[in-house]
Amino acid sequence: MFNLYDFYYSYAKQHDHFVQFSHEKSGTVWMQTMVTQIGQIPTFSLVMQNTPLHPGAYIITHLDDQIKLLDNVKYILIVRDPRDCIPSFNKMNIKNQLLTNEVWSNRQHISDQCKKWESYFTCGLLEKDIIIIQYERLCLYPLETLNKVVVHLEIPIMRSVESVVLEYDMDGGRGKEIKNPDWSYYNIHCNKWQQEKRLPDWYNNYIYSLIGDTMLHYGYQRNGHSKNLVLK
């Protein structure tokens, strides 16, 4: 039986790759689309599992038990406030009828998602050749953030970062210019958990009791995201 992961790892021994990790609903496809357009490099998904693998491919994936970390790879880790990841992920699954509205008050489900979110920082990924990108900072400083990613990957700039951001943002186009910092865009896509009326009253405190130390380390304070934090 064909195993996609075995195929990838055998191929990766012969070619260098770029691998982007993120929890679900953390800008996975958004980042991948923009970076591959800037560098005009092929893409491959261990998430969607429907694209051909090419030398030097940009690979997107979520963490699972089959993932092996390699040394000849440049990694990107996108970090998003888990309080926004969980309801966004739940909405996606509810739409696909995989979950019900009970997830909004299901402590076990929320706990499982919190453990998965935190596992990205404990699996050995931070010891690799990696750049950590905050989803919130990508929304607030798209040009600055994408330029850092391009420098980290050492890819040629085949299209300007600004033209790609204008074309491939999540809302289908920002307009004729990008403000940096872009507070209006940040306010639309970040700290959404604070406006989500379906979340139970205990939601924030419960998540913070589980993974608060890790959240605070990456700039996610109990009362909201720390907008001025700069990661490596």
Token representation of residue 51 = 């694209």
CA angle 204, 24, 189 (to 5 degrees): 60
pLDDT value, residue 214: 94
CA angle 42, 186, 215 (to 5 degrees): 85
Residue numbers of the chain with a pLDDT score lower than 70? 1-17, 42-60, 63-68, 89-104, 169-177, 225-232
Q: Contact at 8 Å (CB) between 61 and 46?
A: yes
Sign of the Cα pseudo-torsion (190, 183, 30, 157, in order): negative
pLDDT value, residue 205: 94
pLDDT value, residue 177: 67
For 4-225, CATH number? 3.40.50.300
Residue type, 225: H
Residue with tokens 């994936």: 61
pLDDT value, residue 8: 58
Distance CA 91, CA 60 (A): 21
Q: Contact at 8 Å (CB) between 37 and 168?
A: yes
Secondary structure class of 76 (helix, strand, coil): strand
Distance CA 188, CA 113 (A): 23
pLDDT value, residue 40: 78
Residue type, 94: I
Secondary structure class of 36 (helix, strand, coil): helix
